[in-house]
Structures are given as structure tokens and as C-alpha cells.
Structure 1
């Protein structure tokens, strides 16, 4: 049986980075408002463990995005398929990622995708030319995490 997994990305501002990646991937930001409300009402978490972002309550230091077609738990809002979880850490990013996302455009749509990602806050780093294998852009998200667009 295959394992269920999610990709966890360290960040300085989890809700803002989740907003960027939701827009970049056309995913949905998970809504944990119902779960947070239940945990607060049951006294299982304190108010200081909660943050509000774009009118939704979430757990401080965490935010996630999920594929819009994948199943999710209606109480917790947690996706049960393709999912990225952003967790806040105290230190800044200091070195190159050892793991990154590759975003694939529609045929002939790479330049438009790069421009859309830049409008969301990404930056181009360099273009890589692999001859017959094609070429792609190395980019950075708003917190400096590298990803590729081809």
C-alpha cells in the first residue's frame, strides 16, 4: 500500500507563503477554522495558539495548500492528497534547497507562466539550457526557496 505524504516547507511567514504557492499552483489554502473553533471551545488550545489570516482562523505558525480536486477532511480542512504544509521556523534560509518543485507549463506557455509567477512575487534566478533536453528557468519564491519552471 502506498504511503500518504505531504511536503513540509520551512518558512518565516507560513500564511503568506501558502498564499503564494496556492496562487502559483492553482491550489486551495486549507481552511482550519472549524477545527480551530472546536479546539478553542474544548479548551484544547489557547487563543495565543491561533492566528487569523484573510478572515480565517488557523494554528499559529502553520498553513497548508491542497490540490482542489483531492479529498479533504471537512472538519479539520486538511487535504488527503497532494498537499504542501508550511511551518514557521526561527532561522532564515541560508543555503540552496536540496529539494525543490518543478512546475510544468502547457506546451509553449513557459514564458507566460514565468511572468504570472513573477506577478505573484517570484524572481528569476537564471535560465538553464540543456540543449536537446530543453531549457527552463530557476526561480525563487518570496522567501527565497528555489524552484524550476519548464
Structure 2
């Protein structure tokens, strides 16, 4: 039986990071359980202390399939390069200038949402490189536009 995959982010501000990635991936915040109209109402009904309301968040695909992304608050900050990162497949099948222009447009959209650019790698067919842009989310987690 196939397993479902959830990707978990350790972070300082789960609500803000979930909102960023929901916009970046065309995902949505996971709706509250049952008949609750909001997460605030659900958490209050569950007796969760108010200072813990932003201790976790999750996003799911708005349409189609994909992994659930879970964001959990941790006390320590990010200190080193990620050992695992997401590649946002923004320009599959595109090459050269068209590919890089598409990646640049997406980089600009994500920068407006709070991401920062780390570096750009130019296409180099002799090195089997088609070009990509490495970015950082609002908490500094690296990801690539591919």
C-alpha cells in the first residue's frame, strides 16, 4: 500500500510561513475540523492556550494532489544550509532564454511575497545544466526554481 508523504518545516512563525508557501505553491490553509468556522474558534473550543495558537499550521493542495505541508514552531533558529529542499518546477520543458525569463518572473512574484534570491545558475548544456534560481523563503529555508 502506498504511503502519503507530509513535508514538515521547523520554523519560528508557522502561520506566516504556511501563508507564504500556500501562495508560492497554489495551496490553501488546511480548513478547521468539523463545523468550526475558523481555527481560532476550534482552538478556543479545544482549550488550547492562546499563546500556542500559532505553534503549528498546515497547507494542502487547493486542487489536485500533492503532499500536505506542516509547519511547527521550534525554539532554535535555522543555522546551516538545508539538507533537503523543495524544487518548484516552474519551467519544465523550457530551455535557454525562455526558461530563464519564466524563472525570473516567478522569482519576482515570490520576492513580493517575502522570499529572497540567493543566486542564479545559467544554462550550460555541456555541463548538463538547464539553469535554475536558488531562493530563500521568509525564514531562510533554501528552495530552487527549476
Measured against the shorter chain, the TM-score band is: 0.7 to 0.9
Q: CA RMSD in A?
A: 2.3
Q: How many residues align?
A: 131
* Residues 1:138 and 2:134 aligned together: yes
Structure number having the greater helix percentage: 2
| Length-normalised TM-score, structure 1 | 0.76
| CA distance, structure 2, for counterparts of residue 119 and residue 22 of structure 1 | 14
Structure 1 stretches lacking a partner, 5+ long: 52-58, 72-80
Contact 2:4 2:67 in 1 (8 A): no
Question: Runs (4+) of structure 1 moved beyond 6 Å?
Answer: none
| CA distance, structure 1, for counterparts of residue 43 and residue 136 of structure 2 | 36
| Length-normalised TM-score, structure 2 | 0.78
Structure 2 stretches lacking a partner, 5+ long: none
Deviations 1:30-80 (A, max 9, x none): 122629656754xxx4241676xxxxxxx5411011111248xxxxxxxxx
Change (3 A) 1:38 1:94: closer
